[in-house]
Amino acid sequence: MLTIGDLSRRTGVKIPTIRYYEQMGLMNPAERSEGNQRRYTRQERERLSFIKHARELGLTIEAIRELIDLSAHPERPCSQADRIAAEQLVAVREKIEKLRRLEKELERIATHCAGDQVKDCYVIRALANHELCEGDH
């Protein structure tokens, strides 16, 4: 059995986050020792590692909850898990595209300035007037 501190160190998940996952129902409430300390099993450590990895991939709490439910029924087809991963892939690609537009616009703004004083600074003017931007970002 692991204490919450041990679980935190072994998984790299902060203690408040572990408590949050318990409150959100992603993890079962921990057993308690006679001294009222939370105690976690190997299975709970594995569950927390699963949640952490899913969060690192950007999955929402609701998507993780759905995946946890699916993992409890190994006889089910994996099409729902595939759908969740595919939806996340689309979201990540959309974020990448938005970041590329931001990069392009920031590069343009940062290299467009010809003044040496703030009163002539293109960066300041562009931030104050969105019409100076080349596109939607």
In the chain, where are the structural domains located? 4-60, 80-132
Cβ–Cβ under 8 Å, residues 68 and 26: yes
pTM (2 d.p.): 0.80
pLDDT score of 114: 77
- For 16-35, what is the mean pLDDT? 92
pLDDT score of 36: 87
| Residues 24/28/29/33 CA torsion (nearest 10 deg) | -150
Cβ–Cβ under 8 Å, residues 136 and 130: no
Angle subtended at Cα 27 by Cα 25 and Cα 28, rounded to the nearest 5 degrees: 90
pLDDT at 129 over 90: no
Q: Which CATH number fits domain 4-60: 1.10.1660.10, 1.20.1180.10, 2.30.33.40, 3.40.50.10800?
A: 1.10.1660.10
The residues with which 40 forms a beta bridge, in sequence order, are: 2
Contact residues for 121 (Cβ-Cβ < 8 A; gap 6+): 113, 115
